[in-house]
Amino acid sequence: MKKILSLLSAFSLTAAISSSVVSCDYSNKEEQEVDLFDIDFSSLNLTAGNKWDYIKNSINTIIKYNTNKNHIEFQEDWDITNFSSLVDNKDIIRGNIEFQIKIINENISIKGYSKILKTKLFKINTQKKQIDYWCSLSLSEYKEKILSDLRERNSLLWNIDNENLLNSDIEIGIDNNSISNKGVIKNTNFTVRFKKNPLYLEGEINTTFSTKVIDLSDEKGPFFSFKSKHFKDLNSRQLITNFVKQELFFYRYVIQIDIDYEILFNCVPNEDDPNINDLKSITIKAKSDSKFLIGEYTVDYFVDMFELANGANKNNSI
| pLDDT (tens digit per residue) in 42-91 | 999 999 999 999 999 999 999 999 988 889 999 999 999 999 999 999 99
Quick one: CA dihedral 254, 186, 171, 153, positive or negative?
A: positive
* Same structural domain, 244 and 292: yes
Q: Does 18 reside within a domain?
A: no
* Same structural domain, 173 and 252: no
For the chain, where are the E strands, in sequence order?
A: 34-35, 78-80, 98-99, 101-103, 110-111, 117-118, 122-124, 130-134, 170-173, 179-180, 183-184, 189-194, 201-203, 208-212, 214-215, 261-269, 277-286, 293-294, 296-300
Domain range spanning residue 205?
122-212
* Same structural domain, 84 and 132: no
How far is 46 from 119, CA to CA, in rounded Å? 5
* Same structural domain, 142 and 176: yes
Domain boundary residue among 90, 118, 146? Answer: 118
Domain boundary residue among 118, 146, 165? Answer: 118
For residue range 224-273, list pLDDT tens digits in order. Answer: 666 555 666 777 888 888 888 877 656 667 999 999 999 999 998 888 88
How far is 316 from 267, CA to CA, in rounded Å? 10
Give pTM, 2 decimals. 0.79
* Same structural domain, 126 and 114: no
Number of domain units in the chain:
3
Q: Does 287 reside within a domain?
A: yes
Q: Does 292 reside within a domain?
A: yes
Average pLDDT over residues 138-146: 97
